[in-house]
Amino acid sequence: DVKVTQSSRYLVKRTGEKVFLECVQDMDHENMFWYRQDPGLGLRLIYFSYDVKMKEKGDIPEGYSVSREKKERFSLILESASTNQTSMYLCASSSRWEGAATGELFFGEGSRLTVL
Amino acid sequence: AQSVTQLGSHVSVSEGALVLLRCNYSSSVPPYLFWYVQYPNQGLQLLLKYTSAATLVKGINGFEAEFKKSETSFHLTKPSAHMSDAAEYFCAVIPKGGSYIPTFGRGTSLIVHP
């Protein structure tokens, strides 16, 4: 069964702490994504990566950074957590786009972060 | 830029009633279209996708969606709602011939009453 695994389902951190959210996929996918999900706002793209060591900013990258040292792993980093980063974070992966055959995203179960 | 609109942040139906969740996209060239479902405390999973083959697409759990170019729509339907269908539903688009990055709608929460 294909899988995207996020390391922590629930985290509670304090303002100013450095936070790491880890994501691992076992499908040998080239593309990986980090989204933030907030009520009424849907999913907003933070960063994505289309290859090892490659990263691109999404719609809301401010306050976040990412790391992709291995193909299967994509990490989201909050250098100094703030209360407005309290949210659900979703990791996803997909195969490299090849016409109509792909495009489907596979999601992890999410990491709910609370910053106090 | 590509955008997708889901009309109604909440839709409430009785068990056994028709489910209709609306999705419209803005693009002169029809994109690839997707519906995802998110059950409570879980990630999203694909329900169905339109990739320019048949305009009526069947998905999992009895859902289907019809692509209508003239209306720039891709509405999701199910003839008879079940309690287990209660979830958040997201429409997403990927433009043809370029980015593989989907744009998501804001989601519609489906509430099913007994």
Give B6's DSSP letter: -
Structure-model confidence comparison of residues B65 and B98, the more confident one: B65
Lowest mean pLDDT among A41-45, A49-53, A99-103, A104-108: A99-103
Cα(B19)–Cα(B15) distance, rounded to whole angstroms?
Answer: 10
The stretch B57-79 carries a mean pLDDT of 94
Q: pLDDT value at position B27?
A: 79
Contact flag B49-A45 (C-beta cutoff 8 Å):
no
Set of chain B residues whose Cβ sits within 8 Å of the Cβ of A90: 43-44
Put simply, whether A110 touches B (Cβ < 8 Å) is yes
The stretch A10-25 carries a mean pLDDT of 97
Set of chain B residues whose Cβ sits within 8 Å of the Cβ of A36: none
Put simply, whether A4 touches B (Cβ < 8 Å) is yes
CB A88 within 8 A of CB A38: yes
Q: pLDDT value at position A98?
A: 60
CB A59 within 8 A of CB A45: yes
Q: Which 3 state secondary structure label does DSSP give B84?
A: helix
Mutate to test the interface with A, among B5, B10, B101 (most CBs of A within 10 A): B101
CB A49 within 8 A of CB A56: yes
Nearest CB to B43; choose among A48, A97, A108 = A108
For A61-85, how does the pLDDT look when each residue is reduced to its tens digit (9 = 90+)?
Answer: 999 999 999 999 999 999 999 999 9
By CB neighbour count within 10 A (0-12 exposed, 13-18 middle, 19+ buried), where does A54 fall? exposed
Cα(A74)–Cα(A71) distance, rounded to whole angstroms?
Answer: 8
Closest A-chain CA to B49: A104
Q: What percent of chain A has pLDDT over 90?
A: 77
Cα(A91)–Cα(B91) distance, rounded to whole angstroms?
Answer: 18
Contact flag A100-B9 (C-beta cutoff 8 Å):
no
Q: What percent of chain B has pLDDT over 90?
A: 71
Find residues 65-84 of chain A whose CB sits inside 8 Å of chain B. none
Q: pLDDT value at position A100?
A: 46
Structure-model confidence comparison of residues B63 and B2, the more confident one: B63
Put simply, whether A12 touches B (Cβ < 8 Å) is no
Å from A33 to nearest chain B CA?
9
Q: How many CB atoms lie within 10 A of CB A72?
A: 17
Confidence of residue B75 (pLDDT cuts 50, 70, 90): very high
Residue B43 has pLDDT above 70, yes or no: yes
Cα(B13)–Cα(B88) distance, rounded to whole angstroms?
Answer: 14
